[in-house]
Amino acid sequence: MNDETAVRPQHTIDDVEIQEWLESLDSVLESSGPEVAAEILERLRAHATVNGIDLPFSANTPYANTIPVRLQPLFPGDQELERRIKSLIRWNALAMVVRANRVEHNIGGHISTYASAATLYEVGFNHFFRARTEEFEGDSVYFQGHAAPGIYARAFLEGRLTAHQLENFRRELKPGGGLSSYPHPWLMPDFWEFPTVSMGLSPLMAIYQARFNRYLENRGLKPETDAKVWAFLGDGETDEPESLGAITLASREKLDNLVFVVNCNLQRLDGPVRGNGQIIQELESAFRGAGWNVIKVLWGSEWDPILERDTEGLLVKRMGEMVDGEYQKLVVSSGAYVRETFFGTDPRLLKLVEPLPDEALRRLRLGGHDPRKVYAAYKAAVEHQGSPTVILARTIKGYGLGEAGEGKNVTHQQKKLNEDELREFRSRFGIPLSDQDCIDVPFYRPPEDSAEIQYLRSRREALGGYVPQRKARAKPLIADHDELFKEFLEGSEGREVSTTMAFVGMLRKMLKDPEIGKLIVPIVPDEARTFGMESLFRTVGIYSSVGQRYEPVDVNTLLYYKEARDGQILEEGITEAGSMASFIAAGSAYATHGINTIPFFIYYSMFGFQRIADFIWASADMRTRGFLLGGTAGRTTLSGEGLQHQDGNSHVLALPVPNLVAYDPAFAYEIAVIIQDGIRRMYKDGESIFYYLTVMNEPYAMPAMPGDVKDGILRGMYRFRKAANAKAKLRAQLLGSGAILNEALRAQEILDSKYGVAGDVWSVTSYKELYKDGVETERWNRLHPGEKPRVPYVTECLADAPGVLVAASDYLKTLPNMIGKWMPRHLAALGTDGFGRSEGRSSLRDFFEVDSRFIALATLHELFADGKIDRGVLDKAAKDLGIDTEKPNPVTF
């Protein structure tokens, strides 16, 4: 072993050899083009593998811009004017936050997110985002929630928002109105379209929005267009599992109408996203691996001549070596530091920048701050075909804030700037304000006839109008659908069916209706068979953008698995989140597309609110319409499945959503009344509400509607069956819901036949509606003490109903308890608090103490407490009914 081999590894690559390979590739590229070059590389790779060369897989490309300078299009706009407009927006966005926090300490707001994303948005606004017009459906833009100040500041320059509104940023309750912190269609229904601020939701919603747009086209509900869905994400946001959770759907569906823009400022709230790694490379490999078109926009134009001099590829190699933590510091450091730390690792690198003074090194911009690079990426994205595009744009968080926070770990929370910092920001962006004026941070809008305002307006005119803008564009439905639902009011004539089957029957009929049939969008996460919906597979088909490329294994059966391009069912596979995103897209199409699609999303009820409540909250914010159906619902009605499946929670979890109307119906006619009325309220009257209905799988005979009880069904309760002997001395009112209503009916018989207690049975269809009515009434009375007090509906129902009160449902006891205070007497509440069990229905109802025996016993206990019966009767009843009074408490067991 000589000295040479001691210091050099044996197989060091010869630089000259490498150079020869590179040159020959260059010559192929020049003479035959990139496709041939790619083919050669592909063949080489295959050849290498066959010959036993182990090539590690990497979906990464070098740490460089994806679009080479020679393929970069000319920038079509007036760069200088666009820069000035952007500077004004930067100023006003900052002013909004600073002013708001001067008036009210800690009112919050974000400066640094928009500061880093300004170029990404402005290139979009000036050249890409097309508005919704009569002729064109427009692009859908999901703005990053924390960038809202910038979007408001632009709307201010556009003359769409007033200085008064900006002044009241985060002060929505001020006279004359203010602006909501983040994009909330609920709060600003003419402005914001998509709620994005709970991070991770919007990327997933955007994917399903893009897919739903294709669904509408393939089903002939809207013409094919090249409208795009743009989703702006933070790089930190991509850690949310929902952000990347559906990216393979986007590529599988070839959603080239979808563009993600990830603002890679390498920071999140607390610090770096990947201090010890490279978030951009990590995202690139995830997206490329999933089949997306990935465009990296890392380096600004100032780097181009340096890169051109780098014939050996050393600079790109060096760029790929640094971890994000180092970069975070580098990009806000002095030119001397950049020279020493970044270029100083190799004399050849130093040589590349020898001609440049330190100041020039400090001013080397990142790609996401260079409109020419961003424009090139956007243009490539909108022209790209066959797959979705993600743009990974490198920026600096808090760009332009200087000492006030540029690139610093605290920058996300920065809301205040001192006088010097304000002056510096003003000077850096050339805002025409004096040293004195600028410390007041006034909003600044140049005159209407200024070049800036004229340019900005003309660009928006060319793109069809303003973005964002929201408008409910669909025309209301006309029919009342009485005929459609009539048959379901008549009962099943003794045939035992479940409420799920009854609902599916209605769905089948709705799908055939001339007015709403086409508009129905059944959505199911791989549970159609569970709910007995498989007959719909063949009749309306399962949506598939490619039709059916195979002969289904069950083609010879009546109910075969039929996929079709114009299939109506969205069979989403096992993703409640994805299904919910489809629900949101379909239920908001009345605004996004002017189409009244009516989604029915049916799922395993335990995996609804419990799993995807934040999406449900977002859909409420977005004024989504439609029906959520919690199938196989009820803690004791779903037998066998056990703790993680049996749902006794969802009606409690439905309580907080203000515009969600929730029902736990027992009978087919109740469902019919609720759905018919829901369609009227949402699609004829245009109410911004949506519905949650639980449906069960326990079969029983469906009775006919007992008279006209529609009003009671909708308001939350009605008397289903009166006591046979109204004159009896012992009286009771039994409240039952959903499948437990039958237990109350059986208890009514037990009480009557064995104990001489005459009970009325009420169907409580919605504790939520009763509660809402109760608190509303209380509030009105409190605020109007001089007027005749109003009476809560539940009080009114029970006013003349004698006897003790007992309520039982398949959900937590808190539901009946929350209306107890409006009852004329004490209410005994039975419910299913606790963990479910793998058991049969009757054992479960015994375990949770909600069956007819426990309802009877609770009634007797109330009578005993009232002094109407003796203790002996009670004790004997427990024995006769077979109730173990020492049984474990299901709540804690």
Ligand X SMILES: Cc1ncc(C[n+]2csc(CCOP(=O)(O)OP(=O)(O)O)c2C)c(N)n1
**93, 94, 145, 191, 776 from 180: Cα distances, Å:** 14, 16, 11, 11, 26
How many angstroms separate the CA atoms of 804 and 861, rounded?
Answer: 9
Q: Does 119 bind ligand X (CB under 6 A)?
A: no
- CA-nearest of 162, 120, 171 to 143 is 120
Which CB, 243 or 694, lies closer to ligand X?
243
Q: Does 324 bind ligand X (CB under 6 A)?
A: no
Six-digit token string for 224: 């094919």
Which CB, 265 or 694, lies closer to ligand X?
265
How many angstroms separate the CA atoms of 538 and 546, rounded?
Answer: 17
What does 197 bind: Mg ion, ligand X, none (CB cut-off 5 to 8 Å by kind)? ligand X
Other C-beta atoms lying within 10 Å of the C-beta of residue 197: 18
Nearest approach, Cβ of 142 to ligand X (angstroms)? 13
Which CB, 194 or 466, lies closer to ligand X?
194
Six-digit token string for 632: 């196989």
What residues are paired with 757 via a beta bridge?
730
What does 65 bind: Mg ion, ligand X, none (CB cut-off 5 to 8 Å by kind)? none
Among the listed ranges 186-194, 258-266, 477-485, 597-605, the one in contact with Mg ion (CB under 5 A) is 258-266
Which CB, 146 or 853, lies closer to ligand X?
146
Q: Does 269 bind ligand X (CB under 6 A)?
A: yes
Share in percent of the chain as helix, strand, coil (round to 5): 45, 10, 45
Residues between 706 and 725 with contacts to Mg ion, criterion CB under 5 A: none
What does 211 bind: ligand X, Mg ion, none (CB cut-off 5 to 8 Å by kind)? none
The four Cα atoms 189, 194, 199, 200 give a dihedral, to 10 degrees, of 150
Chain-centre distance of CA 651, in angstroms? Answer: 21
* Unique residue bearing structure tokens 């598939």: 544
How many angstroms separate the CA atoms of 654 and 395, rounded?
Answer: 41
Site mask for ligand X (CB under 6 A), range 158-197, x = bound: ---------------------------------------x
Total residues in contact with Mg ion, by rule CB under 5 A: 5
222 exposure class (CB count in 10 Å sphere: 0-12, 13-18, 19+) = middle
Q: Looking at 268, 460, 635, 715, which residue binds ligand X (CB under 6 A)?
A: 268
Which CB, 273 or 404, lies closer to ligand X?
273
**79, 269, 295, 766 from 683: Cα distances, Å:** 46, 41, 42, 22
Q: Which contiguous run of DSSP H or E holds residue 867?
A: none
Which CB, 198 or 530, lies closer to ligand X?
198
Which CB, 617 or 663, lies closer to ligand X?
617
Nearest approach, Cβ of 271 to Mg ion (angstroms)? 10
Among the listed ranges 126-134, 231-239, 454-462, 650-658, the one in contact with ligand X (CB under 6 A) is 231-239
Q: Looking at 122, 139, 193, 235, which residue binds ligand X (CB under 6 A)?
A: 235
Nearby residues of 59 by Cβ (< 8 Å), 6 or more positions away:
284, 285, 286, 288, 289
Which CB, 188 or 828, lies closer to ligand X?
188
Six-digit token string for 609: 């609110």
Q: Does 237 bind ligand X (CB under 6 A)?
A: yes
Which CB, 183 or 816, lies closer to ligand X?
183
What is the residue-wise DSSP string for 33-59?
-HHHHHHHHHHHHHHHHHTT-------
Among the listed ranges 100-108, 125-133, 267-275, 869-877, the one in contact with Mg ion (CB under 5 A) is 267-275
Which CB, 124 or 236, lies closer to Mg ion?
236
Residues between 218 and 247 with contacts to Mg ion, criterion CB under 5 A: 234-236
How many angstroms separate the CA atoms of 362 and 336, rounded?
Answer: 8
Residues between 375 and 404 with contacts to ligand X, criterion CB under 6 A: 397
How many angstroms separate the CA atoms of 837 and 857, rounded?
Answer: 23
What does 198 bind: Mg ion, ligand X, none (CB cut-off 5 to 8 Å by kind)? ligand X
Nearest approach, Cβ of 85 to ligand X (angstroms)? 21
Among the listed ranges 260-268, 338-346, 529-537, 738-746, the one in contact with ligand X (CB under 6 A) is 260-268
Among the listed ranges 151-159, 267-275, 727-735, 771-779, the one in contact with ligand X (CB under 6 A) is 267-275
Q: Does 234 bind ligand X (CB under 6 A)?
A: yes
Which CB, 163 or 286, lies closer to ligand X?
286
Nearest approach, Cβ of 139 to ligand X (angstroms)? 21
Among the listed ranges 57-65, 266-274, 383-391, 662-670, the one in contact with Mg ion (CB under 5 A) is 266-274
Residues between 407 and 466 with contacts to ligand X, criterion CB under 6 A: 412
Residues between 136 and 155 with contacts to ligand X, criterion CB under 6 A: 146
How many angstroms separate the CA atoms of 413 and 605, rounded?
Answer: 39
How many angstroms separate the CA atoms of 864 and 872, rounded?
Answer: 10
Q: How many CA atoms lie within 13 A of 349 on its CB side?
A: 17
Chain-centre distance of CA 495, in angstroms? Answer: 41
Which CB, 108 or 313, lies closer to ligand X?
108
One-letter amino acid at 144 equals Q
Nearest approach, Cβ of 397 to Mg ion (angstroms)? 6
**DSSP type of residue 361:** H
What sign does the dihedral 285-289-295-301 (CA atoms) show? positive
What does 205 bind: ligand X, Mg ion, none (CB cut-off 5 to 8 Å by kind)? none
Q: Does 265 bind Mg ion (CB under 5 A)?
A: yes
Nearest approach, Cβ of 198 to ligand X (angstroms)? 5
Q: Which contiguous run of DSSP H or E holds residue 7?
A: helix 3-7
Which CB, 183 or 300, lies closer to ligand X?
183
- Give Rg (Cα) of the chain: 33
Strand order in the sheet with 598-604: 570-571, 520-524, 598-604, 627-631, 690-694, 660-663
Q: Does 522 bind Mg ion (CB under 5 A)?
A: no
Q: Looking at 87, 218, 267, 852, which residue binds ligand X (CB under 6 A)?
A: 267
Question: What residue number has its CB nearest to ligand X?
Answer: 234
Which CB, 397 or 768, lies closer to ligand X?
397
Among the listed ranges 158-166, 228-236, 571-579, 831-839, the one in contact with ligand X (CB under 6 A) is 228-236
Which CB, 233 or 830, lies closer to Mg ion?
233
The four Cα atoms 763, 764, 769, 774 give a dihedral, to 10 degrees, of 110
* Unique residue bearing structure tokens 């045939």: 495
What does 146 bind: Mg ion, ligand X, none (CB cut-off 5 to 8 Å by kind)? ligand X
Residues that bind Mg ion (CB under 5 A): 234-236, 265, 267
Please give the residue ranges that form the binding site for ligand X (CB under 6 A).
113, 116, 146, 197-200, 234-237, 263, 265, 267-269, 273, 397, 412
